[in-house]
Chains A and B, each alone.
Chain A
Amino acid sequence: MLTFKGGIHPPEGKALTEGKPLKRLSLPDKVIIPLSQHIGAPAKAIVQIGDEVLTGQPVAEASGMISASIHSSVTGKVVGIGSFPHPVSGTGPALVIERSGEDIFYEHPRYTAGDCDKETFLKVVADMGLVGLGGATFPTHVKLAPPSFKKVDCIILNGAECEPYLTCDDRLMQEQSEGIALGLLLMVKNTGAEKGIIGIENNKPHAFKKMCEVCRPYHELEVVSVKTKYPQGAEKQLIDALTKRKVPAGGLPLDVGIIVQNVGTAFAVYEAVYLGKPLIERAVTVSGEGINEPSNFIVRIGDTYERLIREVGGLKEETVSLISGGPMMGFAQYTAQSLPVIKGTSGILALTEREVGRTREAPCISCGACVDICPMQLIPTQLVRQVKNKRYEEAAALNINSCIECGSCAYVCPSKIPLVQYVRLGKGFLRKLSARERAKKEEKK
């Protein structure tokens, strides 16, 4: 079975929702659309309060090299621009659009594989506001347009979905397999790659079978089963498992001729090109022991966590933690109120005390569990020791910057040390240090 070195196997929790088909939610009366839903510069609003907008109409445009445009997810009127809760950054600027009725779709051009050349393809992907839907939300058009000196020979679709609880990719692969395959074909063709590989963890036999069926006619596509192990869906680990190529430390998949995209992104590419549909909705898993009726939904961007939770029958009394994304790398939320679903929201989890397992931090007993499972072959406990003692340079020498913050170390630690938190702290200090040094050099000039 293909896999990578290290990793863990937390309780999957997928049984809660893996049998739940993606259900389209009724249209929200109001959407809150943050201007920053991607890595890079926030988008710039191009509408004003009082403007009438159609479903799919651009409301904010990309600003700068790495940015993505944003579209209205309902037909209605812009009623507010202001600061709102944000599942990743805490708060951030957002547009509020009140729905006035049923969808009236804004017209975008449609293409077929034949009449969509590389230039058009990248323009469509950019215009439709596509970002990586696995959670990192890197603008898709930037990722698909590598500098000309980087040769890409393979596009990998990430269907691992290694985060516990989440099943939205699993459902999407079962229900929209054709679209995913067509989206991948478009990406393969327009990046000059030779093949596309879809990597799926072996705990999703239905999705695997379905994807195999639809990909059979296309000789350049391959569907591969990988071992169920966290973090199998981490970019570098997935590439290692599927191709045995090792992305160099500090490098990108491009350095080994590969681009990785999430299966959801491939489906969005298909919809953008063939249907002229911008990224205005996505699949979201609402799950966890604290949820009364765990479900999978297709949700409009800007719909709120609050409404989704109401939709699944509310939270159980025992809920202590509300997570945006998966339990391993997601973001804890203080409140669900006015909290919008954004392009990167793959899951909404309500976890109970039993799942969270809160305990005091005890001293490290050097058990080496974190060393054994680190998928990047680092020594997490040493990194933490260096950061705690403010020896950032030593931490850098131990490759702290290679850490992908997957959280496997903190998961296995018997002393319950929040290792990832310390690593982030150390990385932050190192960034500050190097910025200061750059500033000094500038001054000297």
Chain B
Amino acid sequence: MAEKFLIKTSPHIKNNLSVAKVMWLVVVALLPAYIHTFFLFGYRTVWVSLAAVAGAVVSEALMQLLMKKKITVYDGSAFLTGLLIAFNVPPSIALWKVALGSAFAIIVAKQLFGGLGYNIFNPALAGRAFLMASYPVAMTSGWKAPAGGFLSLDPALTQGFSGPAVTKFLDSVTSATPLNALKTARAALNDPELDVPAREAVEQLFSADSIVHSFFGRIGGCLGETTALFLLAGGLFLLIMKLADWRVPAGYLGTVALLTWAFGGIDGIFTGNPLFHLFTGGLMLGAFFMATDMVTSPLTRKGKWIFAVGCGVLTFTIRMWGGYPEGVSYSILLMNIFVPLIDRYTVPVSFGEVKA
């Protein structure tokens, strides 16, 4: 009889989930959108994502080596950060810039804060913010209509989507994202000096045609932003596998939908188009893959609702009145700051606890 059994405290059995499994499963959830992106932008997708992932993984390994920590790049968390950064940059960006963004995300936003589990900010979004601040032109004007892949837009489709009115006041249709177009059109609306068909432009953007295009990703945008359908599919996979809490995307998307419907229109209250806002920009990516980042979102259920609604309100605010056309990444980063505070004030009432 073997007389040396394992001595440890209970419980003596554990489930088979691990951090690495969680991370790699999130990567799997991103695959549908990634593959679709490949069909839109062709090999550009591969190069950008390779640069981003390599930047992240190499930085993580180097930092852990320098800080004399155990090297844990196999756990997939750096890989995931890299992939998310790739999803968050325009396809035309210089590869070294993407890699630099990844390096910033891992070195500054993650490892300097203590590594996995200790970072305050979502590393991928911190990387994106770094790129936005450092290379604003590359990050905001490098939009390309999907090109290079066999699902890329043909000019006729582009026309169909943007509409002649949009074309008229935008220099180049192919270099605008729908949110950009909306912002410009709204600005023109309030400027009597400008003689442009702004109202028609907004109407066309809100049209069913336009929404279908955004849903299927036939719009300009960051690599991973353009495919609402596939992001949604990956997001549902996360929810089913319980790798993300449904409260976060539900609260986030719900808030944005409600606010944009109520106040996003140009003919008064409840004339906005919530679907337009849900399917454009980085909202799907943000709501399912960024705001749900376990480390940087609240622990408690109530906290998750507060966090999600906060993200939604901020996103709506930035899209409507902010200087940027899109506000998903900054909204989530801002809400990341409040996570410890939210957790502190949403401690659930424990079983049998009598509140004094």
* Interface residues in chain A, defined as those with a beta carbon under 8 Å from any beta carbon in chain B: 5, 10-11, 164, 236, 240, 246-251, 306, 309, 314-315, 317, 319-323, 327-337, 349, 351, 355-359, 362-368, 371-372, 375-379, 381-382, 398-399, 402, 405, 407-408, 410-416, 418, 420-421, 424
- Of residues A319, A368, A412, which shows the largest number of chain B Cβ atoms within 10 Å of its Cβ? A368
Contact B299 A381 (CB under 8 A): yes
Q: How many A-B residue pairs have CB under 8 A?
A: 178
Closest to A5 in B: B351
Complex CA gap A337/B3 in Å reads 8
Given A399-B350, A402-B352, A413-B14, A368 and B9 contact (CB-CB distance below 8 Å): no
Closest to A256 in B: B352
Q: Which of B1-22 contact A (CB under 8 A)?
A: 1-19, 21-22
Complex CA gap A376/B1 in Å reads 40
Contact A309 B117 (CB under 8 A): no
Q: B343: CB under 8 A from chain A?
A: yes
Contact A410 B5 (CB under 8 A): no
Contact B5 A421 (CB under 8 A): no
Complex CA gap A378/B300 in Å reads 10
Given A329-B11, A377-B348, A414 and B115 contact (CB-CB distance below 8 Å): no
- Of residues B17, B115, B296, B297, which shows the largest number of chain A Cβ atoms within 10 Å of its Cβ? B17
Contact B300 A379 (CB under 8 A): yes
CB pairs A–B below 8 angstroms (5 shown): A5-B351, A321-B6, A327-B12, A379-B343, A416-B18
Q: B203: CB under 8 A from chain A?
A: no
Q: B71: CB under 8 A from chain A?
A: no
Complex CA gap A377/B349 in Å reads 7
Interface of B is mostly: loop
Contact B299 A332 (CB under 8 A): no
Complex CA gap A315/B4 in Å reads 13
Given A363-B115, A407-B11, A416-B18, A382 and B6 contact (CB-CB distance below 8 Å): no
Contact A246 B351 (CB under 8 A): yes
Using C-beta atoms within 8 Å of the partner chain, give the interface range for chain B.
35 or more
- Of residues A333, A337, A365, A402, which shows the largest number of chain B Cβ atoms within 10 Å of its Cβ? A365
Residues of A within 8 A of B296 (CB): 366
Contact A357 B11 (CB under 8 A): no
Given A319-B2, A321-B5, A411 and B14 contact (CB-CB distance below 8 Å): yes
Residues of A within 8 A of B16 (CB): 357
Contact B14 A410 (CB under 8 A): yes
Residues of A within 8 A of B354 (CB): 248-249
Complex CA gap A364/B4 in Å reads 31
Contact A418 B13 (CB under 8 A): no
User: Interface digits, B47-81 against A, CB 8 Å rule (1 contact, 0 not)?
Assistant: 00000000000000000000000001001000000
Given A376-B351, A399-B350, A414 and B17 contact (CB-CB distance below 8 Å): yes
Q: B193: CB under 8 A from chain A?
A: no
Contact B18 A402 (CB under 8 A): no
Given A164-B13, A355-B13, A420-B11, A414 and B351 contact (CB-CB distance below 8 Å): no
Contact A414 B19 (CB under 8 A): yes
Closest to A314 in B: B1
Taking a contact as CB atoms closer than 8 A, the residue among A321, A362, A405 that contacts B12 in the complex is: A321
* Interface residues in chain B, defined as those with a beta carbon under 8 Å from any beta carbon in chain A: 1-19, 21-22, 72, 75, 115-118, 245, 294-301, 304, 343, 347-354
Contact A365 B117 (CB under 8 A): yes
Residues of A within 8 A of B75 (CB): 362
Given A236-B351, A334-B4, A363-B118, A415 and B19 contact (CB-CB distance below 8 Å): yes
Contact B7 A332 (CB under 8 A): yes
Residues of B within 8 A of A321 (CB): 5-6, 8, 12
Whole-angstrom distance between the Cβ of A173 and the nearest chain B Cβ = 24
Complex CA gap A351/B16 in Å reads 15
Contact B18 A410 (CB under 8 A): no
Whole-angstrom distance between the Cβ of A76 and the nearest chain B Cβ = 26
Residues of B within 8 A of A378 (CB): 350
Contact A251 B12 (CB under 8 A): no
List 4 A-B pairs, minimum CB-CB distance, nearest first.
A407-B11, A363-B117, A367-B294, A322-B5
Known: A356-B13, A405-B10, A412-B15. 19 other contacts (CB 8 A): A248-B352, A248-B353, A249-B354, A306-B1, A319-B5, A320-B6, A321-B12, A332-B9, A335-B4, A335-B5, A336-B1, A351-B13, A358-B6, A362-B18, A363-B118, A368-B245, A399-B353, A411-B15, A413-B14
Complex CA gap A416/B8 in Å reads 13
Taking a contact as CB atoms closer than 8 A, the residue among A236, A251, A330, A368 that contacts B294 in the complex is: A368
Whole-angstrom distance between the Cβ of A62 and the nearest chain B Cβ = 28
Complex CA gap A359/B297 in Å reads 26
Contact B12 A335 (CB under 8 A): no
Residues of B within 8 A of A375 (CB): 351
Closest to A413 in B: B14
Residues of B within 8 A of A366 (CB): 117, 294-297, 299
Whole-angstrom distance between the Cβ of B299 and the nearest chain A Cβ = 5
Closest to B72 in A: A362
Closest to A397 in B: B347
Whole-angstrom distance between the Cβ of B82 and the nearest chain A Cβ = 17
Residues of A within 8 A of B8 (CB): 321, 332, 418, 421
Taking a contact as CB atoms closer than 8 A, the residue among A320, A336, A368, A412 that contacts B300 in the complex is: A368
Contact B299 A359 (CB under 8 A): no
Residues of A within 8 A of B118 (CB): 363
Complex CA gap A79/B21 in Å reads 56
Residues of B within 8 A of A328 (CB): 10-13
Contact A363 B14 (CB under 8 A): no
Residues of B within 8 A of A365 (CB): 19, 22, 116-117, 294-295
Residues of A within 8 A of B7 (CB): 332, 334
Contact B5 A333 (CB under 8 A): yes
Residues of A within 8 A of B298 (CB): 368
Given A334-B5, A363-B117, A379-B348, A327 and B11 contact (CB-CB distance below 8 Å): yes
Whole-angstrom distance between the Cβ of A381 and the nearest chain B Cβ = 7
Complex CA gap A434/B30 in Å reads 52
Taking a contact as CB atoms closer than 8 A, the residue among A249, A357, A414 that contacts B352 in the complex is: A249
Whole-angstrom distance between the Cβ of B19 and the nearest chain A Cβ = 5
Complex CA gap A419/B10 in Å reads 10
Contact A332 B300 (CB under 8 A): no
Complex CA gap A358/B3 in Å reads 19
Taking a contact as CB atoms closer than 8 A, the residue among A251, A362, A376 that contacts B19 in the complex is: A362
Residues of A within 8 A of B295 (CB): 365-366
Complex CA gap A323/B343 in Å reads 37
- Of residues B298, B352, B353, which shows the largest number of chain A Cβ atoms within 10 Å of its Cβ? B352
Whole-angstrom distance between the Cβ of A126 and the nearest chain B Cβ = 30
Given A10-B15, A315-B1, A319-B2, A331 and B117 contact (CB-CB distance below 8 Å): no
Residues of B within 8 A of A381 (CB): 299
